[in-house]
Chain A
Amino acid sequence: MASAPENEKNASAPEKKTLTLKSMINNEEFVVDEHVALQSVTIKNMVDSDCAGDVIPVPTISGEILALVIEYCKNHANPSASEDDLKKADAGIVAKDIYTLIDLVLAANFLDIKGLLEVTSQKIADSIKDLPHQDVREIFGVENDYTPEEEAAVRAEHDWAFEGFP
């Protein structure tokens, strides 16, 4: 069902418009209803200003991540979904490893989907809050620019926070 352009306008009821999102990383394509895709402010702006063709290329987001984003948008575009259902569905979407979550948060930011950005950030915060700072450095690819003496001094400033940590 990947790249079939949909031009069926034979039915009497107004046909639901669809958009095709294409990941530029692995060229995977996703056909989604327009109202689902429009939850992304970035895509909405493209459509509103008429710069969206049949296929909307999405740079820097892999197909795997794009699938999660679309799942989120589908859930939240469903008017009959209760708040509880949505919460459960969101929890399912963000039940991923930390590296996937970082990709997801970048995607949510790029596509400007506020709700997804919030749940993903919260999940990342929950998963790193009990980690030692050395692990956090590694996860986010942050270079340690302290000298050992400086680091010891900073640590001493908030010594109480390090109880039980290396």
Chain B
Amino acid sequence: MSSNNTTTPLKVSLSSITPNNIGTVRKLNSVLFPIKYSEKFYKDIQAPEVEDFCKLGVFFSVTSDTLRAEQLITKYLVYYNDIPVGTICCRQETVDGQNVLYLMTMGILAPYRSRKLGSQTLSAILTAAAAHKPKVDKIYLHVQVSNEDAKRFYESHDFKEIRVHENYYKKITPADAWVLEKAFS
């Protein structure tokens, strides 16, 4: 299958998260997000069951069509000119018998924003998810209600707001979060 990102510049590449580059992920998360993630979070994203369907080579480029359906990657490091500048981490869940992908974190370092890196990264995930077998029914995520930009960003990728999760955040205000969702046909 081919990727739908034929127009993207070649500078961006993604690689999966492994125990060896987890230090980079930590570093990025500590700069990108207001929340300090628990040790469990880092353990989870390199857990063997997640690894199971992430048999991906260390490096691959979004522009090439190497994203194969059975290789759904739910966690990436984003590289720009060979420098790691962002991450994306998803988790597989089963909700009411449905196969669901939950987008836990996604972020790009400030100096590298507005260069469509986020879009390309998200597209890569969406493309892979759409082609994944067994079928992924939908993908959802939380956005803090103050973050209009983020909401717009996801909406431009066909996500729909379905509800407000009250008091979602414990340590930051506003504590409410939108739940955004995109179903795969």
Question: Does B associate with A?
Answer: no
